[in-house]
Chain A
């Protein structure tokens, strides 16, 4: 009766199974390993002076050393303090400003020129002025970080708030929600995925600004460490600092993505 239909399928082996499942991860890992291998090879083969390029093995050795003797921690702590303060202040100030801009046409029209100009301009240029005003302490660096991070938060929040489905607000009104309830029960949750995406974009800018600020106005921190290492031709230490920053960036970025997926799971599946 039931004729078995011959289905042509490639024979599955454990290896092909693993490949099918983790293709992206495997490709990424391979690319990184090959790149590091090439780097190691050009230095070891004497094609490049290790003074200028160091090598992966030297960098990892240095990383182990600075973590083992603990000499890196004060620098990380110092950078983290500035990054954390700057990021927190950007959020506390940026989100309400973004919401106000998204809700009120008057506020949007009157603030947009400043926000857009600041967003598009290299805010690092303000550093000398900020140092002039605030000196070389923590706060001049925090202010620079805020200048670097706040506008992307403001803009994302504003877009999230102003692009909200009007039908949802109308639904709230039909159920007699007051203005506060419309804001907290409808607008805020609807804009949350955009706001979180703004935070994620801001993290990258925070890291850049911390390093730049520490180049010029610091006696500690990863930026200072990298700058000093460069001045002393200690390229292994220089790369160690860069690796730590890159690692922090990747980890924070993935963490934010995870938070976004956790808080707004409907976002990905809502495209129908």
Chain B
């Protein structure tokens, strides 16, 4: 379980710059095991920062982050990140990228096991015959599949995804959403998924945390009650009345927030 209480974060003041608004202000929530939660919001609302705070790459200026009863002081193997820009190591083949996490001392995995696990994960993601390819030889969608395989290789309890499909073209993006749900249906992983696509958040999530900007905070938490599995007849689900209603509700919320922000800027 992820427990966040009263997290406030502000980036270090650069000399001469005006005091910045808090990137996150007084954010509290809990995420239960096995949940799929999306952080949805416009750019600059602190949703990515919140994700990084959960991972432990960033420590918050104030507040508490507790995961499974332990205070977070840095990254831990129970959590894996998937990045928007993939962040694959360009000098490693797909297979070697997928093995990266397991090679590290903290994992202490034997070579044979690493190779087996990497291969299993790549083939789960439909990249069975692409293990020897280098990132520059792969399409964006394939690169992110490698990124997901790499994240899964360390068998994390929590999968943290930072706009993972944001850099992909819209059609590949929808396809990847379906494949992600299929992939995750087999296990009971907890997912935190950052996105600025309303449809993506509704389609994937159990709950959506809608973020507002300046200061970054949670405007509303929307539980999504749509039938599962959603990848079957996904086009029907996306056109269904409840789906459209969710979209309207969330868009109204975000539109108000954005317009308020623009008046502020004037």
How long is the Cα–Cα vector from A175 to B79 in the complex, in angstroms?
A: 8
From B23-31, B87-95, B174-182, B250-258, the one touching the partner chain is B87-95
Interface residue range, chain B: 20 to 34
Decide if B117 is an interface residue (CB 8 Å cutoff). Answer: no
Q: State whether A174 and B103 are in contact (beta carbons under 8 Å apart), knowing that A168-B87, A270-B90 are contacts in the complex.
A: no
> Are the C-beta atoms of A186 and B89 separated by less than 8 Å?
yes
Determine how close the nearest CB of chain A comes to the CB of B79; give it in whole angstroms: 8
Q: State whether A266 and B134 are in contact (beta carbons under 8 Å apart), knowing that A174-B57, A176-B76 are contacts in the complex.
A: yes
Residue of chain B at shortest CB distance from A264: B91
**Which of A168, A175, A185, A265 sits near B75, CB closer than 8 Å?**
A175
Residue of chain B at shortest CB distance from A182: B104
Q: Mark A167-198, 1 if CB is under 8 A from B, else 0.
A: 11011011111100100011001101000000
Determine how close the nearest CB of chain A comes to the CB of B64; give it in whole angstroms: 21
How long is the Cα–Cα vector from A141 to B111 in the complex, in angstroms?
A: 47
Determine how close the nearest CB of chain B comes to the CB of A155; give it in whole angstroms: 22
Q: Mark B25-66, 1 if CB is under 8 A from A, else 0.
A: 000000000000000000000000000000101000000000
> Are the C-beta atoms of B83 and A175 separated by less than 8 Å?
no
Determine how close the nearest CB of chain A comes to the CB of B52; give it in whole angstroms: 9
> Are the C-beta atoms of A171 and B81 separated by less than 8 Å?
yes
Determine how close the nearest CB of chain B comes to the CB of A175; give it in whole angstroms: 4
> Are the C-beta atoms of B90 and A174 separated by less than 8 Å?
no
Determine how close the nearest CB of chain A comes to the CB of B164; give it in whole angstroms: 13
8 A Cβ contacts from B133-186 to A: 134-137, 154
Residues in B whose Cβ lies below 8 Å from that of A185: 89, 100, 103-104
Decide if A21 is an interface residue (CB 8 Å cutoff). Answer: no
Decide if B212 is an interface residue (CB 8 Å cutoff). Answer: no
Residues in B whose Cβ lies below 8 Å from that of A178: 104-106
Decide if A269 is an interface residue (CB 8 Å cutoff). Answer: yes
The listed residue with most A CB atoms (<10 A of its CB), out of B89, B134, B154, is B89
How long is the Cα–Cα vector from A181 to B76 in the complex, in angstroms?
A: 16
**Which of A181, A190, A265, A266 sits near B104, CB closer than 8 Å?**
A181
Determine how close the nearest CB of chain A comes to the CB of B186; give it in whole angstroms: 23
Apart from A168-B89, A178-B105, A270-B136, what 13 extra A-B contacts exist at CB < 8 Å? Answer: A170-B87, A174-B75, A174-B81, A175-B80, A176-B76, A176-B77, A177-B104, A189-B89, A190-B89, A264-B91, A266-B91, A266-B134, A266-B135
What are the nearest 8 A-B pairs in CB distance? Answer: A266-B90, A171-B87, A175-B101, A174-B81, A269-B136, A176-B106, A189-B91, A266-B136
Enumerate chain A interface residues (CB-CB to B < 8 A): 167-168, 170-171, 173-178, 181, 185-186, 189-190, 192, 264-266, 269-270, 272
25 A-B contact pairs sorted by A residue (CB < 8 Å) = A167-B83, A167-B85, A167-B87, A168-B87, A170-B57, A170-B87, A171-B81, A174-B55, A174-B75, A174-B81, A175-B75, A175-B81, A175-B104, A177-B104, A178-B105, A181-B104, A181-B105, A185-B104, A189-B89, A189-B91, A190-B91, A192-B91, A265-B134, A266-B91, A269-B136
